[in-house]
C-alpha cells in the first residue's frame, strides 16, 4: 500500500474522495469538519492510502510530541481492511513525527473484533466520539418510517401536533445560533462537555453554506422550545446537535422536531439517519451515564443500540506515548476543561 499526502486537486474534491471509501464516507472525515477543527487549533492533514481517503487531525501536546487523530476513521468496514492500512500508516506517521495515531473506525463491536484489534497491537483509549448510537432506516416511504418508529415516539409526535407545537427550518443567523447555544448549554448542565459558542456558530454556518446542514426550531406560540441541527453527507444523515427548554411546555415537541429533521434528511437523499450518541447497549438503564437522558429520548425512536468498537491508539513512539498515557492526556484534558470548560478533542 502506498501512503502519501493528497494533492491540492484531491483536497479540493475531498468530500467525493471520502464518499468513495468502503464506509461510504463520514461527516467527521469531511473537508467542512476539518475546517471547523482547524479553527479550534487542530491541523488537518489530507492523506491518500491507495484509494482510501484519510483526514487526519494533528496537534502538539504538553507532554511532548505530536498526536494524530482520525475522527471516525479510517473509513473501512471490517478488520481485514483496517489491517491492510495500519502498517504503512504507522511508518508514514513515524516519518512525519507523530508518536501515536488515534483511530475510531465505525466497526461493530463484538468479542472477536475486539480480539483482532488487540492482535493488531492497538491500545484501547479513552472515548472521543460517542461509541454507541441509534440508527433509523430512511430507505422506506415516510409512512413506513413513521410506522417503524416506537409507539412512544409516534404518540409524542401526534400529541405535539395536536397541542399546537410547530417546527420551522431556520437560517443560522447570529441570533438563531445564539438561541440554539443557550438551549444547548442548559441541556449539557455540566453532564457532558460542549464547545464554545464560536465553534458551533462556525459549524452551523459552514455546513449550511455547503448545502449539507439545516437548523430547525420548534415553537410553542412564538417561543423557541427546542432546536436541532441535521447534516447530510452522501447517503447518511446525522442529528449532530439538539437541545430543548427544561420546562417542556408541549409534550413531544422534541419528537416532532426530530421527525421534521428526518423528513428533510430523506428529501436530501439520506438512507440512514444517525441520532449520534447514546449510552452503550449494556448501560442504557444506568442513570449515572452522562448520555442517559438524551439516550432515553433517542431510544424512543428505535430501541436498538448500535455499539461500535470505540477509540484505539496505534502506538508509533512508545516512550512518548507512555508519557502521554501516564499523565499527559489527563493533565491536558483536565487543564483545558478547567480553563475553558470545553472538550480538548
Tell me the CA distances in angstroms from 289 to 118, 178, 292, 325, one per residue in order: 26, 28, 5, 24
- Percent of the chain beyond pLDDT 90? 86
Q: CA-CA distance, 287 to 324, in Å (whole number)?
A: 31
pLDDT tens digits for range 139-151:
999 999 999 999 9
Q: Where are the domains of the chain?
A: 3-129+309-340, 133-306
- Mean pLDDT along residues 201-221: 97
DSSP string, 149-169: S-HHHHHHHHHHHHTTEEEEE
Q: Is the pLDDT of residue 318 over 80?
A: yes
Tell me the CA distances in angstroms from 115 to 90, 110, 124, 241, 283, one per residue in order: 20, 9, 11, 33, 22
Query: What global pTM score does this model have?
Result: 0.94
Q: Are 221 and 257 in contact (CB under 8 A)?
A: no
The pLDDT of residue 248 is 76
CATH architecture of 3-129+309-340: 3-Layer(aba) Sandwich (3.40)
The pLDDT of residue 165 is 96
Q: Are 82 and 105 in contact (CB under 8 A)?
A: yes
pLDDT tens digits for range 91-113:
999 999 999 999 999 999 999 99
The pLDDT of residue 190 is 56
Q: Are 216 and 167 in contact (CB under 8 A)?
A: yes
- Residue 191 confidence class, pLDDT cut points 50, 70, 90: low
Using the CB atoms, write b or e for 6-15: b if 16+ within 10 Å. beeebbeebb
Whether 3-129+309-340 shares its CATH topology with 133-306 is answered yes
Q: CA-CA distance, 35 to 103, in Å (whole number)?
A: 19
The pLDDT of residue 339 is 83
- For the chain, the distance separating the N- and C-terminal CA atoms, rounded to the nearest angstrom, is 29
Beta strands in 38-121 (DSSP E): 43-49, 52-60, 66-70, 98-103
Selection from 93, 85, 78 nearest residue 51 by Cα:
85
Q: Which of 76-80, 94-98, 294-298, 340-344 has the lowest mean pLDDT?
A: 340-344
Q: Is 134 left (phi over 0), alpha (psi -120 to 50) or beta?
A: beta
What is the torsional sign of CA 195, 196, 200, 202? negative
CA angle 34, 37, 41 (to 5 degrees): 130
Q: CA-CA distance, 91 to 103, in Å (whole number)?
A: 15
The pLDDT of residue 62 is 83
- Residue 338 confidence class, pLDDT cut points 50, 70, 90: confident
The pLDDT of residue 31 is 97
pLDDT tens digits for range 36-70:
999 889 999 999 999 999 999 999 998 889 999 99
pLDDT tens digits for range 3-36:
999 999 999 999 999 999 999 999 999 999 999 9
Q: CA-CA distance, 195 to 213, in Å (whole number)?
A: 18
- Residue 341 confidence class, pLDDT cut points 50, 70, 90: confident
Q: Is the pLDDT of residue 178 over 90?
A: yes
Q: Is the pLDDT of residue 87 over 80?
A: yes
Mean model confidence pLDDT for the chain: 95
Q: What are the residue ranges of helices labelled H in 233-299?
A: 253-267, 292-299
- Mean pLDDT along residues 250-271: 97
Q: CA-CA distance, 15 to 29, in Å (whole number)?
A: 8
pLDDT tens digits for range 217-257:
999 999 999 999 999 999 999 998 999 998 878 999 999 99
Q: CA-CA distance, 261 to 217, in Å (whole number)?
A: 10
Candidates 3.40.630.30, 3.40.50.720, 3.90.850.10, 3.30.300.30; CATH matching 133-306? 3.40.630.30
Q: Are 233 and 276 in contact (CB under 8 A)?
A: no
- Mean pLDDT along residues 166-195: 88
Q: Is the pLDDT of residue 192 over 70?
A: no
The pLDDT of residue 293 is 87
The pLDDT of residue 196 is 86
Amino acid at each position: 500500500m502506498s501512503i502519501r499526502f493528497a494533492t491540492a486537486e484531491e483536497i479540493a474534491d475531498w468530500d467525493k474522495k471520502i464518499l468513495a471509501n468502503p464506509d461510504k464516507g463520514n461527516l467527521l472525515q469531511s473537508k467542512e469538519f476539518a475546517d471547523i477543527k482547524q479553527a479550534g487549533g487542530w491541523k488537518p492533514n489530507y492523506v491518500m492510502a491507495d484509494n482510501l481517503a484519510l483526514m487526519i487531525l494533528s496537534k502538539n501536546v504538553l507532554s511532548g510530541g505530536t498526536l494524530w487523530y482520525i475522527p471516525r476513521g479510517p473509513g473501512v468496514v471490517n478488520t481485514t481492511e483496517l489491517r491492510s492500512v495500519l502498517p504503512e500508516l504507522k511508518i508514514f506517521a513515524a516519518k512525519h513525527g507523530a508518536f501515536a495515531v488515534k483511530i475510531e473506525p465505525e466497526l461493530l463491536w463484538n468479542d472477536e473484533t475486539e480480539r483482532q484489534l488487540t492482535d493488531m497491537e492497538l491500545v484501547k483509549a479513552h472515548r472521543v466520539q460517542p461509541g454507541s448510537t441509534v440508527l433509523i432506516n430512511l430507505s422506506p416511504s415516510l409512512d413506513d418510517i413513521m410506522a417503524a418508529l416506537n409507539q412512544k415516539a409516534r404518540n409524542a409526535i401526534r400529541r405535539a401536533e395536536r397541542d399546537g407545537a410547530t417546527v420551522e427550518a431556520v437560517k443560522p443567523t447570529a441570533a438563531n445560533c445564539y438561541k440554539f447555544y443557550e438551549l444547548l448549554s442548559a441541556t449539557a448542565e455540566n453532564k457532558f462537555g460542549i464547545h464554545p459558542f464560536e465553534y458551533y456558530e462556525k459549524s452551523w454556518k459552514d455546513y449550511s453554506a455547503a448545502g449539507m446542514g439545516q437548523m430547525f426550531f420548534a415553537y410553542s406560540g412564538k417561543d423557541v422550545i427546542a432546536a436541532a441541527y441535521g447534516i447530510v453527507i452522501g447517503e447518511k444523515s446525522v442529528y449532530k446537535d439538539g437541545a430543548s427548554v427544561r420546562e417542556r411546555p408541549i409534550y413531544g415537541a422534541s419528537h416532532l422536531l426530530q421527525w421534521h429533521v428526518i423528513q428533510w434528511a430523506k428529501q436530501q437523499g439520506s438512507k440512514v439517519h444517525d441520532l449520534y450518541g447514546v449510552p452503550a447497549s449494556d448501560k442504557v438503564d444506568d442513570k449515572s451515564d452522562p448520555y442517559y437522558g438524551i439516550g432515553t429520548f433517542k431510544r424512543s425512536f428505535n430501541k436498538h443500540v448500535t455499539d461500535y468498537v470505540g477509540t484505539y491508539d496505534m502506538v508509533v513512539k512508545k516512550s512518548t506515548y507512555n508519557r502521554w498515557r501516564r499523565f499527559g492526556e489527563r493533565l491536558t484534558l483536565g487543564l483545558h476543561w478547567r480553563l475553558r470548560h470545553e472538550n480538548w478533542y
